[in-house]
Amino acid sequence: ESSPSLYQMDFTPSTALVFGNEHSGVSPAFRELCTGNFIIPQVGMISSLNVSVACAVTLYEAFRQKHAVGHYDKKPTLTTEQEILFKSWCAPYGL
């Protein structure tokens, strides 16, 4: 069975992503917990990507899809604790 392309995946719902390295991939035990997989299409002589590059390409595609459906149009409502943490993080930078 062939794996779908990254660009055929729907990343608009909440999704957990697991990446394995180019040598050994994801362990069989972890793979059993996963509900699917995909490939990142490539052309030319290169047949694998560094795991950090594969992660970046995938996260950008997930962002692109979520942005296209308006996922980031509305500012999220923060809890009081989140608001305090956010302000304490911004303060040293004058934000």
Which residue, chain included where needed, has tokens 């911004």?
90
Q: Phi and psi (nearest 5°) for 54?
A: -60, -40
Looking at residue 76, its pLDDT comes to 82
CATH number of the domain where residue 73 is located: 3.40.1280.10
How many distinct structural domains can be found in the chain? Answer: 1
Supply the range of the domain harboring residue 88. Answer: 6-93
Looking at residue 82, its pLDDT comes to 94
Asked whether residue 1 is assigned to any structural domain, the reply reads: no
pLDDT tens for each residue of the chain, 95 residues long: 589 999 999 999 999 999 988 788 899 999 999 999 999 999 888 777 889 999 999 999 999 999 999 999 988 888 999 999 999 999 999 88
Looking at residue 64, its pLDDT comes to 98
